[in-house]
Amino acid sequence: MRWRLPIAAILLFLPAPIAIVALSSVTSRGYLTFPPSSFSLRWYTEFLSSAEWLRALAISVLLAFSAACGSVLIAFLASQVIARKRFAGRSLLETLMLMPIIFPHAALGVAMLGIVSSLHWNGTFVGLVLAHVVLTVPYAYRPLIASIRALDPVMEEAAMSLGARPGTILKRVTLPLLRPGLITALVFAFVISFDEVTVTMFLVGPDMSTIPVRIFAQIQESASPVIAAISTVLIGFTVLIVALTQWLLGLEAFLDIGAGRSSRPAA
């Protein structure tokens, strides 16, 4: 009973910043203010009618999708080797897969700038995709390795005993069983890439910038309510992704994968 009030206060405090941002986005004044004295949708109109903001949003979505697909492919191949094979450098390979989480993003930004510049990809979409794949691989790897380790090998062995080829087993048995892990990996990698600022700032160019970087630059120049409007749209976009994941997968799958539950029958 005595814990109900603190818990309720915490639960109310968590969404408070989102509510403040959303209410600040509908002010009619030319600067951020809370609570708004009058309401207007002018800042949403400014965002939706700005070619620069919409271009940055399109680049961010395409970049996040490309990075998520690339990182999931790499994480899937690596997790297959690590989970199914025993070799001398397995622990080292798994550590390398998680390295981007350990290093500070500023250091990674400098390193990626050197790599991308040597390839003459600085300020290009390809350079951004390369950097974001490196950043998102760990977030794709963790749910995939947990799913593969929880996979019941009897299903694949049964398909093999019936004469199925390796490609058919992968398509008809393995990938369907790994669907929760694959979707979780895609969602995690997409969100991490979409929100990334620090490393991206080292690699953007005059015609190639993401919406988080533009928001960061705009905040330094002015406190326009259009920032709050864009932030509210991005929050709604994130909620839409979560709702879509719930519809496709069920949020309980996140808990199953995170706990690394095994579907193998008890011996």
Please write the tens of the pLDDT for every residue from 1-57: 567 777 777 777 777 778 877 777 777 776 677 777 778 788 888 888 888 889 999
CA–CA gap between residue 173 and residue 74 (Å, rounded):
20
pLDDT value, residue 251: 53
What percentage of the chain has pLDDT greater than the value 70?
90
Task: Name, in order, each residue with C-beta under 8 angstroms of 126's C-beta and a sequence gap of 6 or more.
Answer: none
Q: Domain 50-221 in CATH: superfamily?
A: MetI-like (1.10.3720.10)
CA count, 13 A, side-chain hemisphere, 202: 20
Q: Residue 250: pLDDT band by 50, 70, 90 thresholds?
A: low
In the chain, where does DSSP find H-type helix? Answer: 4-13, 16-24, 42-48, 51-84, 90-102, 105-118, 125-149, 153-161, 166-169, 175-177, 179-195, 198-203, 211-221, 225-248, 252-259
**131 pLDDT more than 80:** yes
pLDDT tens sequence across 106-117: 888 888 889 888
Cα 101 to Cα 25, 36, 86, 258, distances in angstroms: 33, 40, 25, 17
Nearest to 69 by CA among 153, 136, 127: 136
Highest mean pLDDT (candidates 80-84, 189-193, 238-242, 254-258): 189-193
What is the model's pTM? 0.81
What pLDDT shows up at residue 41? 82
193 contacts: CB under 8 Å, gap ≥ 6 = 63, 64, 67, 68, 132, 135, 136
Convert the pLDDT of each residue in 188-220 to its tens digit: 899 899 988 888 988 888 888 898 888 888 887
Using CB atoms within 10 Å of the CB of residue 220, give its burial: 0 to 12 exposed, 13 to 18 middle, 19+ buried: exposed
Q: Is the pLDDT of residue 254 over 60?
A: no
Q: What is the pLDDT of residue 264?
A: 42
Residues with Cβ within 8 Å of 2's Cβ and at least 6 positions away in sequence, in order, are none
- Please compute, for residue 244, the number of CA atoms within 13 A of its CA located in the half-sphere on the CB side: 10
